[in-house]
Structure 1
């Protein structure tokens, strides 16, 4: 896999300057290259948090290939950790324009907050991570809905089959059937995880989604005969507004099984994100400002006593240079049920190409 990823880097490096155009044609294939480089500075308040540091949050190259309108593929590695790691790797077939069937590695089709690209989201970290901060019941990290869904393997990349069907009149149904363990990991059993999402858009700039996730996991995984069980997640979300065009709101609510905290443990949570894209006049460096506010609450172990709940508040602002290229500042503040309030200041630059 490593040699394949480095071959992609070499191809992009030589092909892009040579063509000076958006599309590279190789035989019957049309190839588009792109990528992103997100550099972050983070400083937290916790005594046991890492000192303020600068690091590559994402460093991705992307190649998208099309053979006409019926066949396409994507390959996207990430080099932020020093060693290449595969993010997207899938091939898709369109038997007819309204239906696309994909095989490979991709995002599970569940909650809209997780499906939105990091290039577009105005907040820096979906899960409001705070170094050295309080942990939610059964998982690592703060008690936020995004963190719960991610740590419980209901969202994120996995390997399997994806079906997307546009039924018309603004109604789209999408589903994934995947291995379960997550990206770049072999399956642990013969069971599969299921995600189903139905989204209705009555008009441009408004979408309402309903989703259901079923995740398979092992009990007593180290034993000679581990038991496979299933956890559920159910929720709704809504988006009003569009990217980089005035006010925009998105929110989600979900509940389900916190299988990492115990067989009978449940979770629930909500997150709300509002932002306003404000174009700037004049000949300055910045084309627009986008203030934002995220509010969240989650309970990792419903009905139990202890540090199972938490509030998240994130004020912030982004200054856009051109398109999606910008510099953003966020302050994630976490207020757990038990323990002191913690905060994390994040500054991130977004280079999108």
Structure 2
């Protein structure tokens, strides 16, 4: 999360810094260009005024004498910051431009203008009527507007940079606060999540316990009556849609009442536990085994024909009669009667169970400890 916040900050601040510096660069160049144009325009006016003043002072520009230079220099100083006489042109001619003065009297003056550092330099070459160079006048004018503009721009840039630095600082401080708040929030969320997980696990355990209580017989730990009917009915409906078959075995412990009466309910409970455990060991995972009440049990056998169910019931009967229940001073042997029915020509699971129940009572009437179905 911290890395995410850091990346988001960079994503925001880097373009901000880039845009700010680009804006400052464009503003600086645009402003300097405008100031330079203003200075150039002003310089051109100064040159025109200088020539015009020379003319009005009756200085013959076609034949200037050496004595005229003092007066020329004096006039020049009214328009330019510095005026110097020079014969040899030792100055650089880089960026020179010729000033076009629309005056016939200036045809004998060659004027070149260029920039050097923070000055505008004008080079006046005075020639006679034969185009021979008489002397050279070099003027220097400080770029006042340019310098002032440069100063103002520096102040402006400084203000913008200070604002940008403050913005970055505030953003950084805010980011740190967010990270701290996020850490605290993550800690609280993690703690709360762990509590919820623990609660969910406890609820899951409770739900499983409630499910067991609702669906399991407390004594034998097999399905109770409600659970048996619920699961068996679901399987019956699924098999009915595919023309499948299900068989039911009803089981009743023989003479169970006499065990309770003779040895007490504690021994009766022990018999029920051992009886259920012995049958459960013989069943497959998809076969449903439940206690319907008292000493009555039932087994649902999905995809099992009546003949196959009868064989299973016979194997269980034989296993039960071999079980020995040890009690103080004696041993008990238990038998059970079985009634078997299937889902052929039936419309509900209750009908199958009723048919199996009838077969069970038939087994009871015919001597107990036996398996009965419509096949036998």
TM-score (norm 1): 0.21
Greater relative CO, 1 or 2 (CA 8 Å, sep 6+): 1
Q: Relative to total residues, which structure has the larger strand share, 1 or 2?
A: 1
Bigger Cα Rg? 2
Q: Relative to total residues, which structure has the larger helix share, 1 or 2?
A: 2
